[in-house]
Chain A
Amino acid sequence: DADVTQTPRNRITKTGKRIMLECSQTKGHDRMYWYRQDPGLGLRLIYYSFDVKDINKGEISDGYSVSRQAQAKFSLSLESAIPNQTALYFCATQRGQGRSEQYFGPGTRLTVT
């Protein structure tokens, strides 16, 4: 089984709808991140969490909210989806101590019409 999973993998939704993207991990990592990726813009950080009680905004948090339900689960919500939120969304995890790498989930392709 994959260490980092994301659901759904693909989603088409309409403008104004609320949508939740979910991320689960079995790596035992403390840190979790949500990124979006757009062509030509690279990966941009939306939110990050160092533990269940520590959640922080990234560089593009407007229009998004998150919930860290447990060490292993980190959800991203779009309260009222808009077309420019169409993108690839990735969850990533990272061990909390020392220098460490980030590991990515398989991604969610979100289309807002």
Chain B
Amino acid sequence: QKEVEQNSGPLSVPEGAIASLNCTYSDRVSQSFFWYRQYSGKSPELIMSIYSNGDKEDGRFTAQLNKASQYVSLLIRDSQPSDSATYLCAVNHRGTYKYIFGTGTRLKVLA
């Protein structure tokens, strides 16, 4: 079992719809969770971090964390073609240097 798992996609959604991206992790001691957006050939760009159970909203983005079920998700409201990218989930264990990255979900927003 991979430490951080994401569906590779592509996930296709129409413009204006809500895109839902999911990530599961295996280690219960994980404490910090991050979503990055990566356009093809470019570097990962931080979208959001979340540390506590529940929802965290930032503009069109909402991160959701459920530590009991070991998953973290990212919702993108009013999806735009410019949101088409690969979304990486990253998990950090408390007290360690280590970020574990998922392999990413490719999102395609159709105009």
Verify if A109 is at the interface (C-beta below 8 Å from B).
yes
In contact, A107 and B43 (Cβ under 8 angstroms):
yes
Task: Choose the segment among B21-29, B62-70, B73-81, B94-102 that binds chain A (4+ C-beta atoms closer than 8 Å).
Answer: B94-102
Q: How far is the CA of A104 from the CA of B36 in the complex (A)?
A: 10
Q: What 0/1 pattern do residues 102 to 113 of A give for CB contact below 8 A with B?
A: 111111010000
In contact, A104 and B44 (Cβ under 8 angstroms):
yes
Identify which of A43, A56, A99, A107 gathers the most chain B CB atoms within 10 Å of its CB.
Answer: A43
Chain A interface mostly helix, strand, loop or mixed?
A: strand
Q: Which residues of B contact A103 (CB under 8 A)?
A: 46
Chain A interface residue count, CB cutoff 8 Å, equals 20
Q: What 0/1 pattern do residues 18 to 52 of A give for CB contact below 8 A with B?
A: 00000000000001000000001111010010100
Q: Which residues of B contact A101 (CB under 8 A)?
A: 34, 46, 49
Verify if A90 is at the interface (C-beta below 8 Å from B).
yes
The residue in chain B whose Cβ has the minimal distance to the Cβ of A107 is B43
Q: B111 to chain A: closest CB distance in Å?
A: 26
Q: Which residues of A contact B99 (CB under 8 A)?
A: 45, 102
In contact, A104 and B34 (Cβ under 8 angstroms):
no
Q: A103 to chain B: closest CB distance in Å?
A: 7
The residue in chain B whose Cβ has the minimal distance to the Cβ of A50 is B97
Q: How far is the CA of A103 from the CA of B90 in the complex (A)?
A: 12
Q: A50 to chain B: closest CB distance in Å?
A: 7
Verify if B60 is at the interface (C-beta below 8 Å from A).
no
Apart from A41-B103, A101-B49, 13 more pairs, CB < 8 Å: A31-B97, A42-B104, A43-B44, A43-B101, A45-B98, A99-B32, A99-B49, A99-B92, A104-B36, A104-B43, A104-B44, A105-B43, A106-B43
